[in-house]
Amino acid sequence: MSSVKAPLRAKSVSSQAKLPKTELEKATIRFAGDSGDGMQLTGTRFSATSVMAGNDVITFPDYPAEIRAPAGTLAGVSSFDLSISSNEIYATADYLSVLVTMNPAALKLNLQDLEKGGILIVNSDNFAENDLRKAEYTANPLESGELNDYRVVQIPITKLTLRAVEETGLSHRDGVRCKNFFSLGVVQWLFVRSLDQTRDWIEDKFKNKPEIAKANVLALQAGYNYAITTELFQARYNVPPAVLPSGEYRQITGNQAFSLGCVAASLRSGLSLLYSSYPITPASDILHELAQYKNFGVKTIQAEDEIAAMSSTIGSAFGGVLAVTGTSGPGLDLKSEAIGYAVMAELPVVVLNVQRGGPSTGLPTKAEQTDLLAALYGRHGEAPVPVLAPATPGDCFYMVLEAFRLALKYMTPVIVLSDGGLANASEPWKIPDVDQLPELTPNFHTDPENFSPSTRNPETLGRLWAIPGTPGLEHRLGGLEKDAVTGEINYEPENHEKMVLLRDEKIRRIAKDSPQLELIGPEKNKLLVVTWGSVFGPAFSVISDLQTEGYPVSMLHLRQLYPFQEKLGEVLLNFEKVMVPEMNLGQLSRLLRAEYLVDAISFSKLQGRPFLISEIRNRVLELIK
Amino acid sequence: MNIQVKPVRTVELSKADFVSKQTPRWCPGCGDYSILANVQKVMPELNIPRENIVFVSGIGCSSRFPYYMNTYGLHTIHGRAPAFATGLKVACPDLSVWIVTGDGDGLSIGGNQLLHMLRRNLDVNVLLFNNRIYGLTKGQYSPTSEQGKVTKSTPFGSPDIPLNPMLFALSAGATFIARTYDTDSKGMQNIFKEAAKHKGTSFVEIYQNCNIFNDGTFSAVYERSEREDRILRLNHGKILVFGKDQNKGIRLRGLKPVIVDLDKDFNEKELLIHDQFCEDSTLANLLSGFDYPDFPVPMGIIRQVESPTYGEKIEEQVKSQIEKKGVGNLEKLLRGNHAWTN
Ligand code: SF4
């Protein structure tokens, strides 16, 4: 299909308005442009509109580590994917149906993801020689024929936007900035979406800057009208509402779900929440979000560094509040000494680690699952810590509650491993019924009779939590080995070994107290795919399809990585082969091999982005051949 | 919802009530013993129920301190006591929190934590035992050791320039700084009481003798026969005089402080007057910079000024947000602004 060169001014109403509507089950759209082009916002608005239209929606933002790399360069490209569907979806599709690119750099980096025959919307105002040079193009792709496989829609978006906002008297610079809403208008028309919701949102968002609000609304409307009145598209696409389990929904990202989970845990436990953390991508949003909830009694500390964040969190746990910190890879390294201290002092703290590409500074804005072994073993000494991992953005909410449940019950630090994908991705989330949320019970000890800081609950081995302010229970906690009975300092060899075993046993007992394993598919099968974290999405999409198609494959998703749930070993033995797709070099597969002596086959991907559905599918098919 | 510390009980306590079962394990003759005894002596006089007092420390000889106090205590990790204390104090604003640290713990590995706690004016009391050496690791030089100091790790002398704890604290915005020494019971007790009363971070440097690895490091300053000539005892509102016969004074010549002999060119009006409550920190800076042998070493409260504390600010925000928005409703929060029904 050859390019359509769009006229600068739309013709009067054409037959386009009566274009046929094509029903689609799902579509994947990517908005890509320069970091300064507002693509994240555009994507978020379109997903909000789609959600309101009843679709199941999954989003995947992808942005560079640099806040503003030189405009127009490949380093500065930021993009936002969303899949909209009339069925439940768990991962964005491998290939895009529509790609919107605001400049040549965005085109260059993203074109390979557009399906053949897919719609490519291009801002043709940004293809001057200089723009092409910055994107390292030697020939203009709009003219070279390299786009012949796609349905190219060239629109002079910048010029049309400036014309649309002319009446507001906005400066050239501010006017140009409205162009993302123009492109949004075009896409909203293409997918038969009403503009009302976006318009309301703009008016609310910019209520203190009415001229900006007006200009953005004009740009949005202009884009929509432009699509109506020009012969750019051959059809409009309608993705009908999805049939999700009935109930009330909202859209939620992983980091939002973490934040809400913290507040919910606070209210369910009756303890005030203290979140202390040091800004780090991609975890900072948790701090931003929680800082707004002071009226829930939430206190936040922006600590001077990662070590202080962890230390103050432990200090607050000693004081008897619900203590939580958040971080990402490099921060986890810095926190590890203090986490070991919390193991030794046996204080309940939760560490939310949003994994990113590592080691070192690595890929700050990209997703990876490379901190699993660090979470389990990244401390000196025998320092066992329960490790949990949410499967989806919404699941982050429940994992925080579970983390607090374990922390309070077993008096231990708990690490929750999210990743850069879950943190920023969003999905429709069924709003939970507050009364159905687990009750969290802080068992504050108040009885001075025979108390020592080593006194434990015989069932859980959790130490008693006696907080300052409680008369008669004055005691000292420290990082030195303590006597198993009196809690005083004790360096004796036998006592140390006893304490090491005791701390180990305490955490192992959690295995019996965990939710049951949920196997997807037959209990005995040719292949079991074991996943954790965000790999759930693409893997589940693949496995449910393959199961429908009759392939002998089952799936097991682990949300608790330490200790492993009871029966895991038995479950694994029922399969001829076990495959573990992970965004690392096989960390979970190594754990499974070590623990259960199974020949777990690792399937790795380390590109800072999720597995493609086809990648997992092909590997599974190879293994069950 | 908040864990509230019980209302103040009025119980008569004695020094013995603050002595824990754990026997101190400092070397015999260590200056830490006398500091401990004086802290235990002062505690009952503060009228704070024992259960509302928490001692927090890092790592080092001085940091064993909490084990010996029969209060709540947290012996934490190296250098991070100020951060632990920050979390604790923000969580429980009603506690009386004391940090015990040393020149290595507080000024070397934990310099950042100390700096930021001082800057925030967290309402706690810091006792920094300065013995100008690493004791627990058996005798390496510390950030307060003098340049050229020969230790195990510096057989040819330390190349480092020492840090002045008072100037450090002051430049971090400390609202209370004071200095005392381990053989001055009266001086210590007085300062500990004032420190406890002060709202905000009270930073107290205590010259402490490590008789094993750095014996006599401060003898030149405070040995009995010489000390009145080498110590400047600070009294608010009084002129700065010192000497066995109180015959030496401090005055300014231009911007420079000089020592004058009162027997010779005495003019009391020219002498500096100590004002510990002065908002402006010029005098505090000047005094903090005094060091032996050029100047007598100031002992007493150098600076004590009022300023809102970190905890207060946080409490205020919680309160004002509740007033503004009402107590948060979880159901509403979970629903957000754009919920829909399927
Ligand atoms: S090494 Fe020095 S500071 Fe440490 S306990 Fe012994 S005398 Fe005291």
DSSP sequence for B267-315:
-GGGB-B--TT-SS-HHHHHHHH--TTTSPEEEEEEEE-----HHHHHH
**Residues in chain B within 8 Å Cβ distance of A431:** 334-335, 339
What CATH number belongs to A519-624? 3.40.50.920
Residue B26 C-alpha to ligand 1 middle, in angstroms?
Answer: 6
Closest residue in B to A270 (Cα) is: B1
* Interval A295-312: pLDDT, tens: 999 999 999 999 999 999
CB contact, 8 Å: B91 with chain A?
yes
Q: Whose CA is nearest to atom 5 of ligand 1?
A: B26
Residue B194's H or E segment, with its range, is: helix B185-197
- Comparing CA positions, the residue from A28, A442, A5, A209 lying closest to residue B91 is A442
Predicted local distance difference test score (pLDDT) of residue A230: 82
Chain A touched by B317 (CB under 8 Å): yes
Looking from the CA of residue B129, the nearest atom of ligand 1 is 3
Residue range A44-50: mean pLDDT, rounded: 93
pLDDT digits 0-9 by tens, A336-376:
999 999 999 999 999 999 999 999 999 999 999 999 999 99
Tell me the chain B residues in contact with residue A440 when contact means C-beta distances shorter than 8 Å. Answer: none
- Residues in CB range of A205: below 8 A, 6 or more apart: A213
**Is 90 exceeded by the pLDDT of residue A314?**
yes
pLDDT in tens, A430-460: 999 999 999 898 989 999 999 999 999 999 9
Among A125, A126, A28, CA closest to A77: A126
Per-residue pLDDT for A12 more than 90? no
Q: For residue B88, give the nearest of A465, A312, A274 by alpha carbon.
A: A312
Q: Which residue of B has its CA nearest to A268?
A: B330
HSE-CB of B33 using CA atoms within 13 angstroms: 10
In chain A, count of helices (H) and strands (E)?
21, 24
pLDDT digits (tens, 9 = 90+) for A107-150: 999 999 999 999 999 999 999 999 999 999 999 999 999 999 99
Q: Per the structure block, which two tokens stand in for A516? A: 């049951």
CA angle A151, A154, A159 (to 5 degrees): 165
Class of domain A12-238: alpha beta
DSSP B249: E
B114, two tokens: 């100390």
Q: Which residues of A touch B76 (CB under 8 A)?
A: 311, 314-315, 341, 478-479
The pLDDT, as a whole number, for residue A9 is 35
* SS3 call for B130: strand
Q: Cβ contact (<8 Å) for B342 and A303?
A: no
**B56 chain-A contacts, CB cut-off 8 A:** 315
| Residue closest by Cα to atom 3 of ligand 1 | B210
How far from each other are the two terminal CA atoms of chain A, in whole angstroms?
38
Residues in chain A: 625
End-to-end CA distance of chain B, in Å?
Answer: 35
Domains detected in chain B: 15-217+308-320 (3.40.50.970)
| C-alpha to C-alpha distance for A327 and A310, rounded to whole angstroms | 9
Query: Taking the complete model, does pTM exceed 0.80, yes or no?
Result: yes
Cis peptide before A282 (omega within 30 of 0): yes
Q: Is the dihedral of CA A584, A585, A587, A593 positive or negative?
A: positive
What distance in angstroms lies between residue B136's CA and the mean position of ligand 1's atoms?
A: 7
- Give the tokens for residue B172: 């971090």
Cα gap A83→A89, rounded to integer Å: 8
Residue A475 and residue B73: Cβ atoms within 8 Å? yes
Q: Specify the ligand 1 atom closest to the Cα of B29.
A: 7
Q: What is the CA radius of gyration of chain A?
A: 27
A-contacting residues of B 190-219, CB under 8 Å? Answer: none
Q: How far is B80 from chain A (nearest CA, A)?
A: 7
Which of the listed residues B25, B32, B136, B208 should we mutate to test ligand 1's pocket, taking the one with most ligand atoms within 8 A of CB?
A: B32
Q: Are A31 and A100 in contact (CB under 8 A)?
A: yes
Give the separation between CA B130 and CA B133, rounded to whole angstroms. 8
Give the span between the Cα atoms of A276 and A256, in whole angstroms. 16
Domain ranges of chain A: 12-238, 250-436, 519-624
Q: Give, for A516, the enclosing helix (H) or strand (E).
A: none
Residue B336 contacts A where some CB pair is shorter than 8 Å: yes
**Distance between CA atoms of A62 and A40, rounded to whole angstroms?**
8
> Pick from B83, B325, B335: which is nearest to A248 by CB?
B335
pLDDT digits (tens, 9 = 90+) for A66-107: 887 888 999 999 999 999 999 989 988 999 999 999 999 999
Q: How many CA atoms lie within 13 A of A335 on its CB side?
A: 35
> Is residue A14 scored above 70 in pLDDT?
no
Nearest 5°: the CA angle B322, B327, B332 is 125
A323–chain B Cβ distance below 8 A for any pair = yes
**pLDDT at residue B3 in the model:** 47
* Helices (H) then strands (E): counts for chain B: 11, 12
Q: Would you state the structure tokens that stand for residue B60, as one six-digit string?
A: 């080092």
**Is CATH 3.40.50.300 the classification given to domain A250-436?**
no
Enumerate the residues of chain B whose CB falls inside 8 A of the CB of residue A52. 338, 340
* Pairing of β A299-302 and β A273-277: parallel
Q: Going by C-beta distance under 8 Å and a sequence separation of 6 or more, which residues neighbour residue B64?
A: B24, B25, B26, B32, B57, B75
Low-confidence spans in chain B with pLDDT less than 50: 1-4, 6
**Confidence class for position A19, pLDDT limits 50, 70, 90:** low
**Per-residue pLDDT averaged across A190-210, rounded?**
94
Q: Which of A558, A335, A333, B330 is nearest to A323 (CA)?
A: A335
pLDDT at A3 over 80: no
CB atoms under 10 Å from CB of B155, counted, come to: 7
Length of chain B: 342
Q: Cα separation of A122 and A106, whole Å?
A: 10
Indicate the helix (H) or strand (E) that contains B332.
helix B330-335
Ligand 1 contact, B131 CB (< 6 A): yes
Nearest to B134 by CA among B115, B112, B158: B158
Whole-number pLDDT of residue B269: 86
- Tokens representing residue A404 in the block: 């607090």
Distances (CA, A) of A406 to A323, A332, A401: 13, 20, 9
Nearest to A256 by CA among A282, A274, A279: A282
- For residue A15, pLDDT beyond 70: no
Residue B43: CB within 6 Å of ligand 1? no
For residue B2, the model assigns a pLDDT of 45
Interface test with B, best of A294, A301, A307, A482 (most B CBs within 10 A): A294
Identical fold, A12-238 and A519-624: no
- Output the pLDDT for position B10: 56
Give pLDDT tens digits for A548-560: 999 999 999 999 9
Is residue A2 over pLDDT 50?
Answer: no
pLDDT at A20 over 90: no
What values do phi and psi take at A513, rounded to 5?
-110, 15
The Cα–Cα gap between B86 and B114 comes to: 10
Residues A570, A519 contacting (CB under 8 angstroms): no
